[in-house]
């Protein structure tokens, strides 16, 4: 009798007979799932076990089907723009499931180069290496590289952003003049960009350029405009309108990705600038303190001088008052002395007169 192998275990194999019964056989080395094997007799699996096994097979098939659907369905999209433009479809597990060129240079970049089913990080490494070999990332001249991540899952966007940043740090550490940016967006923007056969990043940058220039630009016409030129036009127009290219450029749109060497240099420049600012601030504070002390000393001296003038004025008034009192006392003393002298003179005159009268009376016979 013959049966079809359904499941192979280390000791026993489950097989299905032409009568629809599941039987258990001893596992042999040549057994494979789906193959037909000969058997003489074998105990049939009980009715309830038969259904349990069928249910397990069904659940297994459903699980496999769900996994296959999740693995083959795009969950996020990553666009790479420099002049070649490439779109990468990434599944839920961060593996590349499709890649296509968005222009002729993008098709040439992907020619004879497979990144399908590789993790996004590895795929980006391969594309960066290919760009470097193609002369798109020269170390002696400026170039602009823009990645755009489109997804409805912000945590997934952040995770893919981190993976791209790691690839940039590894591959572009020597290319100090490469400006690398990343843009975060949603699937609606990706769909709108697809209507013009543009990457999401190029589509968003064209919209940004429209806002800064107040012009109605045709996205299709700008399909082959180098991405570096678009970024430069936005920067120049923003600087012209606001006086600072950082006032609106790149806020909420372009986020710089710095290679580690360039990041360290920028961090060092920032630290040096901050140290200079701190030194200038400390010097200004010391100067302000000296100025305040000088002003305080000057104010104190003025206050002392004013107090001294007031004291001198008070002393002068007091001296004048004392001199006046002294003069009044002297004048009163003179007046009293004069009155006393007058009274004394009068007494002397009276006495003299009385004496004269007495003498005349004695001389008269």
> What residues does each domain of the chain span?
2-72, 76-257
Angle (CA) 85-91-192 rounded to 5° is 50
Nearest to 118 by CA among 89, 97, 138, 140: 97
Nearest to 200 by CA among 209, 210, 212, 187: 187
Nearest to 121 by CA among 144, 146, 88: 88
Q: 188 or 114: whose pLDDT is higher?
A: 188
Confidence of residue 71 (pLDDT cuts 50, 70, 90): confident
**Average pLDDT along the chain:** 81
Longest dimension (CA), the chain: 214
Question: Environment class of residue 319 by beta-carbon count within 10 Å: exposed (0-12), middle (13-18) or buried (19+)?
Answer: exposed
Strands 85-90 and 76-81: antiparallel
**In this structure, what token pair is assigned to residue 179?**
């400006």
- Picking from 76-90, 126-140, 289-303, which range would have the lowest pLDDT averaged per residue? 289-303
Is residue 204 within 8 A of residue 230, CB to CB? The reply is no
The H-assigned helical ranges of 18-119 are 47-72, 104-110
Q: Report which DSSP code applies to 44.
A: B
Place of tokens 């966007």: 157
Average pLDDT over residues 167-186: 82
> What confidence score (pLDDT) does residue 66 get?
59
Report CA-CA distances (Å) from 39 to 6, 15, 26, 33, 42.
14, 10, 10, 16, 7
* SS3 assignment, position 144: strand
Each residue's pLDDT tens digit, 30-62: 888 777 788 776 555 555 555 555 556 556 555
Confidence of residue 175 (pLDDT cuts 50, 70, 90): low
Query: What is the C-alpha separation between 149 and 161, in angstroms, rounded?
Result: 8
Each residue's pLDDT tens digit, 283-338: 888 888 888 888 877 888 888 888 888 888 888 888 888 877 888 888 888 888 88
**In this structure, what token pair is assigned to residue 137?**
């990332």
Torsions phi, psi for 238 (to 5 deg): -65, -45
């Amino acid at each position: 009798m013959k049966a079809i192998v359904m499941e192979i275990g280390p000791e026993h194999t489950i097989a299905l007979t032409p009568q629809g019964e599941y039987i258990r056989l001893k596992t042999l080395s040549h057994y494979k799932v789906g193959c037909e094997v000969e058997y003489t007799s074998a105990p049939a699996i009980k009715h309830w076990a038969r259904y349990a096994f069928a249910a397990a097979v069904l659940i297994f098939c459903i699980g496999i089907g769900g996994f296959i659907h999740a693995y083959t369905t795009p969950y996020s999209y990553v666009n790479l723009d420099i002049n070649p433009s490439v779109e990468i479809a990434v599944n839920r597990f961060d593996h590349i499931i499709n890649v296509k060129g968005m222009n002729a240079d993008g098709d040439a970049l992907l020619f004879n180069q497979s990144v399908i089913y590789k993790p996004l990080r590895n795929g980006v490494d391969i594309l960066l290496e290919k760009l470097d070999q193609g002369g798109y990332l020269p170390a002696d001249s400026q170039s602009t590289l823009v990645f755009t991540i489109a997804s409805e899952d912000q945590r997934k966007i952040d995770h893919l952003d981190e993976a791209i940043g790691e690839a940039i740090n590894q591959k572009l550490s020597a290319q100090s003049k490469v400006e690398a940016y990343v843009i975060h967006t949603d699937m609606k923007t990706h769909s709108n960009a697809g209507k013009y056969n543009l990457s999401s990043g190029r589509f968003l940058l064209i919209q940004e350029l429209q806002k800064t220039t107040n012009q109605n630009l045709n996205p299709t016409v700008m399909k082959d405009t180098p991405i570096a030129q678009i970024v430069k036009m936005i920067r120049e127009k923003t600087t012209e309108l606001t006086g600072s290219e950082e006032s609106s450029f790149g806020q909420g749109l372009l986020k710089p990705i710095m290679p580690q060497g360039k990041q360290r240099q920028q961090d060092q420049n920032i630290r040096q600038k901050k140290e200079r600012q701190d030194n200038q601030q400390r010097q200004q504070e010391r100067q302000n303190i000296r100025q305040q002390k000088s002003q305080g000393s000057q104010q104190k001296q003025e206050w002392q001088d004013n107090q001294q003038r007031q004291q001198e004025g008070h002393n002068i008034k007091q001296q004048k008052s004392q001199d006046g009192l002294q003069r009044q006392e002297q004048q009163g003393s003179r007046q009293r002395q004069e009155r006393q002298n007058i009274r004394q003179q009068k007494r002397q005159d009276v006495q003299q007169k009385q004496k004269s009268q007495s003498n005349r009376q004695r001389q008269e016979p």
